[in-house]
Amino acid sequence: MKNSKPQLTIAVSGLNAIDSPGPGVAVIRALREAKAFDCRIIGLAYESLEPGIYMHDLIEKTYHIPYPSAGTDALMKRMAYINEKENIDVVIPNFDAELYSFIKLKPKFEQLGIYSFLPTMDQFESRQKINLPEFGKKYGINVPQSKAVYTPGEINKLEQEYGWPLVVKGKYYDAILAYNPEQAKSAYQKISAKWGLPIIVQEFVHGTEYNVTGLGDGNGNTIAAVPMRKQYITDKGKAWGGITITDPKALALTTHFLQRTQWRGAFELELMKDKEGRYFLLEINPRIPAWIYLAVGVGQNIPEALTKLALGIPTEAFTTYEAGKMFIRYAWDMIVDLKEFEQISTNGEL
């Protein structure tokens, strides 16, 4: 019997798998398990040592793309070249820092036949860490107090208002808990050297960390939502183990977020549940998280659903998932031929 499933070529970024891993490899695993289509995967890499490049059982071919700092013109030129060779149907970018360019170029990509399902520019900007307090007020969501600072001295003024500890955050990534002025200054210098200014200083909420990943259709409807409690956290604050939970409050907050914002695309809500049982929204990541394969494992293949929405294929909402399932992240060593590393480094393709 002939296979009637459509064959799609999907480009995926975020192929790194360090202690703060990109979502790319997990997204690709999910796409490989899609029931609605078969796929050919094109990797998009920024550096030659991203492990996903060398996972040939998951990725057919990988191309270097320019860093977001190179601007939209450089990305457009590179993606046009890749598309000429590969005929891409859908692109799934997985890093916060690259989303601005991919959102801005969406109309031009569609002219090439490359589709995506991303937040609008307004949605992307409104949930930036610097705008989160205003976001919370606008949509009626509890958000810890926070402020953008441009000098270490400004942090000292906030200690009187917020108390210790304080959370020191980069505008894109990284968060460090500081218990005194010396630690706060050190965190400021470390993060600003990596991600630039401003630095966001946030009030610390004591409680238990939860995350919800999901998918909104852009019309206020919930296509997918899976909450999990972090079981093991790295020194970078990343979940290295987690368990799906049944929590009506977390799901109600997610529904409220999607209805009020009309969110379009994948997302991750980082939440803190305090001793009174109140949820505080710490961050909104406007993309698929690295732990997305847990959602697949409990019955909600979010990357598959996102791909269908990108192509305008009718997509039914997931209504159930299995609670009490865990993910435990692990690392293993791949043996890679030096010639492959040289090829991707020299030619930008492998």
pLDDT tens digits along 4-35: 889 999 999 999 877 678 999 999 999 999 99
Using only the alpha carbons of the chain, give its radius of gyration: 20
CATH label of the domain that carries residue 198: 3.30.1490
38 assigned to some structural domain:
yes
Q: What is the pLDDT of residue 331?
A: 81
One domain, residues 84 and 168 = no
123 assigned to some structural domain:
no
CATH label of the domain that carries residue 308: 3.30.470.20
Q: Which residues of the chain have pLDDT under 50?
A: 1
One domain, residues 210 and 199 = no
pLDDT tens-digit profile of 118-141?
999 999 999 998 899 999 999 999
One domain, residues 219 and 307 = yes
One domain, residues 190 and 262 = no
Q: What is the pLDDT of residue 95?
A: 93
Q: Using CA atoms, how far apart are residues 158 and 96, in angstroms rounded to an integer?
A: 27
One domain, residues 218 and 324 = yes
pTM: 0.92
Q: What is the pLDDT of residue 330?
A: 83
CB contact at 8 A, 148 and 170: no
Owning domain of residue 273: 206-328
Q: What is the pLDDT of residue 236?
A: 63
One domain, residues 343 and 305 = no
30 assigned to some structural domain:
yes
One domain, residues 15 and 109 = yes
Q: Using CA atoms, how far apart are residues 325 and 27, in angstroms rounded to an integer?
A: 19
Count how many domains the chain has.
3
Taking the mean position of all CA atoms in its chain, how far away is CA 164? 29
Q: Helix, strand, or coil here: 206? A: coil
User: DSSP characters for 96-146?
Assistant: HHHHHHHHHTHHHHHHTT-B-----HHHHHHTSGGGHHHHHHHHT-----E
Any residues with CB less than 8 A from the CB of 282 and at least 6 apart, and which?
Answer: 144, 202, 205, 270, 271, 272
Q: Using CA atoms, how far apart are residues 252 and 273, in angstroms rounded to an integer?
A: 14
One domain, residues 180 and 250 = no
pLDDT tens-digit profile of 159-172?
888 889 999 998 87
Q: What is the pLDDT of residue 3?
A: 61
